[in-house]
Amino acid sequence: MTAISVDIKQMGAAARAASRRLAASQSSVRNGALNAIASKLLEHEPEILAANEKDIAAARESGLGEHVIDRMVLNHDRIQAMADACGEIAALPDPIGVVLEERTMPNGLEIQRISVPLGVIGVIFESRPNVTIDITALCLKSGNGVILRGGKEALGANTVLARIAREAVKSVGLPEDVVQFVSTTDRALVGEMLSLDRYIDLIIPRGSAELVRFVGENATMPAITGGVGVCHTYVDAAADLDKALKVVVNAKTERPTVCNAMDTLLVHSSVADEFLPQLAREFGVSNVEMRADGKAMAALQDIATGVRVVPAQSDDFGQEFLALIAAVKVVDSMDEAMDHISEFGSGHSEAIITEDSETAERFLAEVDAAAVFANASTYFNDGGQFGLGAEVAISTSKLHARGPMGLREITTYKWVVRGNGQVRT
């Protein structure tokens, strides 16, 4: 057995043992750990930012794409947001020990179904150091141990953040081993983690489609293998075009490198000639490339020089761009739009812009995705925006959890039965 194998097993065993103590702890103690993390994040901000700057410099030197680097960047506002999220999660109701149902049977047995932690959650993620804190906070609040394996590109910042979290946990009397961080980038450890079904109850990959696929094919424990976002916005014939312009620009440009950013715009043919030139001018300000189908190209033929419009290729539809690129297609009906979403969507986030309430409700009812929106940006598909405090992932799976995964989604339940000598005959 290799040293790597022994080490990761030891981490799993330590997390498992510590998680039992965490699960039995008082809610006030777990909340204290979250508030301590929030305080320490602000206290250690210079150290975090220095580590992050080194990570970014190394990433640029290695030729990493700007869409990845954007996810890595930390600043005061983002550190403050991590601290705020810890406080928001601490203020949420305790998800552990909730009586989900109870009954007394004719034979006198008292039966309850009670929420409990999953146990230990493993997370393999890329690029985004805020994930270290968001997931740790949710796991602590819900009584779960966590093993974190971040990508090599953000190793410096993640190492500092994980140390801060462990120090905060220890400061309130909880075992620091409930938070484990894999501090080496050796890829062999990913395979080792995926074999630790004795210690890890759920594995969550957050990153590229390749990572998600690898975890799904190799994990020996349950895995959340959805999350890739191919997101559409449909501008209906009855859309308020000013509203549509605002929503579409936000969904594409506010943070194009995240999974809930819009990838494909579908526009009803009756409003395409008016709407698309307006949108092209707005997209031009942000340097968005529009990859337009034939009808969309026709609507955009008279736009000003300098706006980036190119003919769409067949593989542009169904792409998660993670960049300032949007595929554009003109459709003749909402049914055509929904058919397109059904064929090319990933089940993540889909939106309609319309002032026709019946059309909106039909879209919300018939489109199959983890989150569907009427007259709002897909960028809202986020645990914090949904009132969950943060998220361990956004799941496109249909079993166990779907959409932003907060506290409830990382708990399970057990049956508690109290008797007085009853036997079954």
The answer on pLDDT for 1 being more than 80 is: no
Q: Which among 369, 398, 71, 393 has a CA at the least distance from the CA of 203? A: 393
DSSP code of 223?
A: B
Sign of CA dihedral 182, 187, 190, 191: negative
- State the first-to-last Cα distance of the chain, in angstroms, to the nearest integer: 50
Say how far apart CA 101 and CA 260 lie, in whole Å.
35
Three-state secondary structure call for residue 414: strand
As a CATH number, domain 3-224+405-418 is 3.40.605.10
Residue 234: φ, ψ to 5°: -110, 120
Q: Which among 284, 287, 290 has a CA at the least distance from the CA of 264? A: 290
User: 397 and 225 in contact (C-beta within 8 Å)?
Assistant: yes
The answer on pLDDT for 270 being more than 60 is: yes
Residue 231: φ, ψ to 5°: -105, 135
Please give the mean pLDDT across all residues of the chain: 93
The answer on pLDDT for 126 being more than 70 is: yes
User: 125 and 131 in contact (C-beta within 8 Å)?
Assistant: yes
User: 364 and 235 in contact (C-beta within 8 Å)?
Assistant: no
Mean pLDDT throughout 262-280? 97
Mean pLDDT throughout 71-77? 93
Say how far apart CA 178 and CA 385 lie, in whole Å.
27
User: 110 and 419 in contact (C-beta within 8 Å)?
Assistant: yes
Say how far apart CA 34 and CA 331 lie, in whole Å.
49
Task: Using pLDDT thresholds of 50, 70 and 90, give the confidence band for residue 305.
Answer: low
Q: Which among 348, 18, 397, 345 has a CA at the least distance from the CA of 203? A: 397
Query: For residue 54, what are the CA distances in angstroms to 50, 67, 69?
Result: 6, 17, 12
Q: What is the pLDDT of residue 401?
A: 87
Encoded amino acid at 176, one letter: E
Say how far apart CA 320 and CA 346 lie, in whole Å.
9
Q: What is the dihedral of CA 20, 22, 25, 29, to 10 degrees?
A: 170
Which helix (H) or strand (E) covers residue 415, if one does?
Answer: strand 411-418
The total of other beta-carbon atoms located within 10 Å of residue 99's CB is 11
What pLDDT, in 10s, does the model give residues 23-56?
999 999 999 999 999 999 999 999 999 999 999 9
User: 138 and 389 in contact (C-beta within 8 Å)?
Assistant: yes
Higher pLDDT: 149 or 184? It is: 149
User: 352 and 363 in contact (C-beta within 8 Å)?
Assistant: yes
DSSP β-bridge partners for residue 264: 232, 327
Q: What is the DSSP string of 96-158?
A: TT-EEEEEE-TTS-EEEEEEEE-SEEEEEE-S-THHHHHHHHHHHHTT-EEEEE--GGGHHHH
Question: For 64-68, 254-258, 408-412, which range has the lowest pLDDT when averaged over its residues?
Answer: 64-68
Q: What is the pLDDT of residue 91?
A: 96
The answer on pLDDT for 217 being more than 50 is: yes
What pLDDT, in 10s, does the model give residues 376-422?
999 999 998 999 888 898 898 888 889 999 999 999 999 999 999 99
Task: Using pLDDT thresholds of 50, 70 and 90, give the confidence band for residue 355.
Answer: very high
Q: Domain coordinates of the chain in residue numbers? A: 3-224+405-418, 231-380
In this structure, which topology does domain 231-380 adopt according to CATH?
Aldehyde Dehydrogenase; Chain A, domain 2 (3.40.309)
Q: What is the pLDDT of residue 6?
A: 44
